[in-house]
Amino acid sequence: MTLSTEKPLPRTKHQGILLINKPIGVTSFSLIPKFRYLFNEKTIGHGGTLDPLATGVMVYLIGRNYTKTADSFLLDDKEYKATILLGQERDSYDIDGNITHTSDKIPTFSEINDAITAFNGVVDQIPPMFSAKKVNGKKLYEIARKGGEIQRLPKRVEMKTTIIAYTYPHLEISVTCSSGTYIRSIAHDLGQILGCYGCIKALTRTRSGSYLLQNCHQMEDVLHYPLDELLI
């Protein structure tokens, strides 16, 4: 969708929750200027970002009355569907990164089924270097893009991971998890356990808190809805 962001239209300000199915290949933040223009509202927050590779539920908070409650949305549990590409390790833990290792090992379904138990319940997860998490005031991805790597402390999260389908080299999984969980780390760590490497090939957030993917607006449709119908 092409939408100028230079001069806001003379519209009355609207506030509320905007549910968007984020398109692939764009950052969560890159859409905010478009919404500022559309709603003539400068104060816009979100309920948790998605990687450029990912699609699915993005909860945008339009207006100060909603952005001040952002923490409660950020802490909501989430659900994802992911496709893991086995046989490759990449520095970003997803298909957009550079290949660092490959393997010809083809794990059996039984091996994967056994390994997936490590991703159920309470898990101490190490954040990927290509993430926005800050260590000593610096975002990890800023260090990673310069070729650096530093020690990261594990974060305790809770998750339920199930297998949807498996046809090598693609493994489809469903993950229900607490806030702050990195699905890319699940792909990487599972590949390590299996001894064949792994990275995320596709990722969709299907739920954020009580908000479902089927209730989200498509970006290309946003301009065709009355503003009051866009917000909840």
Please give the positions annotated as active site: 51
Q: Exposed, middle or buried, 73 (CB in 10 Å: 0-12/13-18/19+)?
A: buried
DSSP string over 79-130:
EEEEEEEETEEETTSBTTS-EEEE------HHHHHHHGGGGSEEEEEPPPSS
**Structure letter (DSSP) for residue 184:** H
- Assess contact for 183 and 82: CB atoms under 8 A: yes
